[in-house]
Amino acid sequence: MTVRIKDVAAAAGVSVATVSRALAGGPVSAELRKRVDAAVAASGYRPNLSARRLRSQQAQTVGLIVSDIRNPFFTSVSRAVEDAAYGAGLRVILCNSDEDPEKEAMYLRLMAEERVTGVILSPTRGIAEAQQPVDLGYPVVLIDRAGPACGVDAVVLDNQQAAQGLAEHLASQGYRRIGGLFGRTSSTGAERQAGFASALARNGLTAEARFILPTAEAAEAETLAWLSSGERPDALVASNAQSLLGVLRALRRLSLEVPRDIAVAGFDNEPWTELAGPGITVIEQPVYDIGRMAMAMLQDRLRQPDLPTRRVLLTGRLVTRGSTPLRGV
């Protein structure tokens, strides 16, 4: 027999309205909430979430659209967003755009159809570098990448500063021919390459940069081609964890040892970077903070829609390991 909300109300000795408020997290005394919870548990009642959403015209749900869930950076960000959303009584719909603007647009339309309360988005280059404010019809917080003119809240790493720190470290260790692999599908790759090049220029060095898809497969292929051409750099930088993994695979295939044959550094302090070879020098991003702060900013925007647009710039931390020793030591 189907259990209805009025059955729960009768069992709890309260009105249907009180049951509805209790189930929606509304203003109900602790005693009444306890009675409603007990009646729900005893009866096996399951609320009709679809009907409730149609009545409220909005789901208590947050959309999260990331560029590539295989990238450990986005896995960790997703965990932070989900933790914060759960604590706020919100659910999360997770989508993966694969750096594809058409797929991204499809998911953004889906979020509107699902009447989400707001979206946290790692955008493709078009949105990240928009030259006019982005208006999707619901609150949006950008993570990882955001141009100065996009006109929405954002939480991003100071990519130029982080890449500068990595390049300065390599130059100070005595490396003179330093190459870098940077993602060509996002503003993040361009910002990191700019910081990389400016730091090397200050040290009288010319950056050797190549732009690739930010995947392990693309990085492996590019590294194999680069190092097999006879133009081997003294040190090689990968601008994300997936690319770093591809670089290490290529070096293994070429029987090159780190750091004896080439120094290596990258981004994202994943657990395996400490264990690979002598340990890989990386920029550690405050990943959990990015997700947590994005969720907090979205909640602030929901509470106060007229808040000025905010852009939070976080700082990476250089973690030095055995992959970048003093050259010649």
Amino acid found at 150: C
Q: By mean pLDDT, which of 44-53, 83-92, 127-136, 262-271 is the weakest? A: 44-53
Q: Inform me whether the pLDDT recorded for 58 exceeds 60.
A: no
Q: What does the pLDDT read at residue 48?
A: 59
The band of 57, judged by pLDDT with boundaries at 50, 70 and 90, is very low
3-state secondary structure the chain: CCCCHHHHHHHHCCCHHHHHHHHCCCCCCHHHHHHHHHHHHHHCCCCCHHHHHHHHCCCCEEEEEECCCCCHHHHHHHHHHHHHHHHCCCEEEEEECCCCHHHHHHHHHHHHHCCCCEEEECCCHHHHCCCCCCCCCCCEEEECCCCCCCCCEEEEECHHHHHHHHHHHHHHCCCCCEEEEEECCCHHHHHHHHHHHHHHHHCCCCCEEEEECCCHHHHHHHHHHHHHCCCCCCEEEECCHHHHHHHHHHHHHCCCCCCCCCEEEEECCCHHHHHCCCCCEEEECCHHHHHHHHHHHHHHHHHCCCCCCCEEEECCEEECCCCCCCCCC
* Reported pTM: 0.75
Q: What does the pLDDT read at residue 296?
A: 94
Q: Inform me whether the pLDDT recorded for 328 exceeds 80.
A: no
Amino acid found at 243: S
Q: Which domains does the chain have, with CATH numbers?
A: 5-47 (no CATH), 61-158+287-316 (3.40.50.2300), 159-284 (3.40.50.2300)
**Burial category of 7 from C-beta neighbours within 10 Å (exposed 0-12, middle 13-18, buried 19 and up):** middle
- 8 A C-beta contact, residue 263 and residue 173: yes
pLDDT in tens, 164-201: 999 999 999 999 999 999 998 778 888 999 999 999 99
